[in-house]
Amino acid sequence: MAVTPVMAQEIGATPTFADITLSAGFTPDPYRVRVTAGGTIDAARSRGGSCVGKIASAPDVRLTYSADSMPLNFKIVSGEDTTLVVNGPDGRWYCDDDSGGGHNPLFRLNNPASGVYEIWVGTYGDSPVSATVEITEIN
């Protein structure tokens, strides 16, 4: 689901955990990046809409992606309740909470655009938690 622009996140800032480049058909799939989720910014206050959780100002992961006809999925896997905020190459913002099952967020783009995707992983508490960002073309 798309929402209005974020004002508190630093678009283009150096990502905290990974700056990666993938092309459609990439391997391994899923591509995984371990992160520490959380931050001091209330996504609901800064984003509104369906965005929730506490996120950092800089993205956790930046993906530069060359698209083809494959879908693109962003999933967060953690033993804690996490949230997902993604800024797409078209400037649109996407948020999810629990679509990946349990407390794991998942966002799917059926026809992703080529370009830069910035990814923030949020938490509900004040303490950071371990999480894994999974980027996959597999349904």
The CATH number covering residue 87 comes to 2.60.120
Query: What are φ and ψ of residue 57, in 5° steps?
Result: -75, -40
Structural domain range at position 19? 2-136
8 A C-beta contact, residue 118 and residue 59: yes
Tokens 């080529």 sit on residue: 114
Tokens for 80, please give them. Answer: 């804690």
Element holding 115 (H helix, E strand): strand 115-123
Taking only the tens place, the pLDDT of each residue in 14-68 is 999 999 999 999 999 999 999 999 999 988 776 656 788 999 999 999 999 999 9
pTM over 0.85: yes
Taking only the tens place, the pLDDT of each residue in 54-91 is 999 999 999 999 999 999 999 999 999 999 999 999 98
How many domains in the chain? 1
Q: What is the pLDDT of residue 48?
A: 59
Greater confidence (136 vs 13) lies with: 136
**Euclidean distance between the first and the last CA atom of the chain, given in angstroms as a whole number:** 18
Per-residue pLDDT, averaged over 99-105, amounts to: 88
Q: What is the pLDDT of residue 22?
A: 98
- Burial letters for 40-65: b for 16+ Cβ neighbours within 10 Å, e otherwise? ebebbeebeebbbbbbbebbbbbbeb
